[in-house]
Amino acid sequence: MLTKAYEWLDERLDITPMWRDLADHEVPEHVNPAHHFSAFIYCFGGLTFFIVVIQILSGMFLAMYYVPDIENAWASVDYLQNEIAFGQIVRGMHHWGASVSIVMLFLHTLRVFFTGSYKHPREFNWVIGMLIFFTMLGLGLTGYLLPWDNKAYFATKVTIEIASSVPFLGDSIASFMQGGEIVGAQTLARFFAFHVFFLPALLLGLLGAHFILIRRQGISGPL
């Protein structure tokens, strides 16, 4: 069944050459754990991407039940966690996955730095990696407020107060994050929009550019 479907698509779209170009890629010996134990440090990037995929899939499930307003946000989270089958598991995966993804991304960044993989000709990919890092931090920040409990509320207030201390632009940044004078309904709506739409779109674009450059330049050599 799957073979016939693939043949039907291949006959019309000629996808086999594209698939072979992506799949037929020789992996350097120094990143093969079977030959070098230190090759495991080259797995951090792939593991980070795997966790990001889990975050996207679990986030899509959570978005089916979440209500982004201050009167129903916590109630929808409570309903999801206690009434929906496997809801507690999926929310737990999304919650802990947010922390694990930052840790894995940090380890991947350290590996790239200490093995000199950011040097010529990969300087541009290093910049993209840094943008991915800050985008992931932004996703963590905006997602933290969404449950709309006391911890999320006051943690967000502290974060905005820290942002307001930035020289010259602090007040503008705080006003933009809050959407007004206080942390309230507009803040929750704004954080939800960034967490679900703007930042994921930016992340997917950056990841696409990151993988294209890796494909063109190859995996960096050992230290």
Percent of the chain with pLDDT over 70: 96
| Mean pLDDT over the full length of the chain | 91
CATH architecture of 42-217: Up-down Bundle (1.20)
- Residue 16 confidence class, pLDDT cut points 50, 70, 90: confident
Taking 70 as the threshold, does the pLDDT of residue 179 lie above it? Answer: yes
CA atoms of 146 and 199, how far apart (whole Å): 15
**Percent above pLDDT 90 for the chain:** 73
User: CA 207 to CA 41: how far, in whole Å?
Assistant: 20
- What ranges do the domains of the chain cover? 42-217
Query: Is residue 92's pLDDT more than 80?
Result: yes
Digit-coded pLDDT (tens) for 97-135: 999 999 999 999 999 999 999 999 999 999 999 999 999
What does the block give as tokens for 174?
A: 């705080």
pLDDT band at 223 (very low <50, low <70, confident <90, very high): low
Is pLDDT above 80 for 90?
yes
Q: Model confidence at 66, in pLDDT bands (50, 70, 90)?
A: very high
DSSP 105-144: HHHHHHHHHHTTTTSTT-HHHHHHHHHHHHHHHHHHHHHH
Is the predicted pLDDT of residue 5 greater than 80, yes or no?
yes
What interhelical angle do 170-178 and 185-193 show, nearest 10? 90
Provide the terminal-to-terminal Cα distance of the chain, rounded to the nearest Å.
47
Q: What is the pTM of this model?
A: 0.90
Q: Is the pLDDT of residue 6 over 90?
A: no
- The pLDDT of 62-87, averaged and rounded, is 96
